[in-house]
């Protein structure tokens, strides 16, 4: 059975490395992007399509919100779970992230156990249809 793949989209190299390490210990193969445009290039490549996207909101080029909106607008990407990891702790930030397609939301800094739990929940949900877009 092929290993699951995750895409980590985070502009801070240390944070990206930490998330990569967490995911690798959970036996996921990891691809990384430092900005929203790079993430979209990776997502468009069907050969490297991830099973999970771990996404920061405050990114150069395109925001995490824009990456979410892009993913939810493309049928092949629509069901990929998105775990948002952000320092933005206001309820309206979480609500907007969920509105544009986030599956789960972690506020930075987070504990490894919180991250692992959120990843497991996202992966268990797997690809999800989005009823608000007319899917059953």
Q: Which domains does the chain have, with CATH numbers?
A: 5-127 (3.40.50.2300)
**β-strand partners of 52:** 6
Report the chain (136 residues): mean pLDDT per 10 consecutive residues: 90 98 97 97 91 96 95 95 96 94 96 97 73 42
pLDDT for res 79: 93
Q: b/e map of 62-81 (b: 16 or more CB within 10 Å)?
A: bbbbbbbebbbeeeebbbbb
Q: What is the pLDDT of residue 1?
A: 60
pLDDT value of residue 2: 74
Q: What is the pLDDT of residue 135?
A: 45
Structural Rg of the chain based on CA atoms: 14
């Amino acid at each position: 059975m092929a290993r699951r793949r995750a895409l980590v989209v985070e502009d801070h190299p240390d944070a990206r490395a930490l998330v990569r390490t967490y995911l690798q210990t959970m036996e996921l193969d990891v691809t990384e992007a430092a900005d929203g445009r790079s993430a979209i290039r990776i997502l468009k490549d069907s050969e490297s399509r991830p099973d999970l996207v771990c996404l920061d909101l405050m990114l150069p080029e395109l925001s995490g919100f824009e990456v979410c909106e892009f993913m939810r607008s493309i049928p092949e990407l629509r069901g990929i779970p998105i775990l948002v990891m952000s320092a933005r702790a206001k309820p309206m930030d979480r609500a907007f992230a969920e509105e544009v397609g986030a599956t789960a939301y972690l506020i930075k800094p987070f504990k490894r156990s919180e991250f692992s739990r959120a990843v497991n929940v996202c992966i268990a949900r797997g690809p999800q249809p989005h009823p608000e877009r007319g899917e059953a």
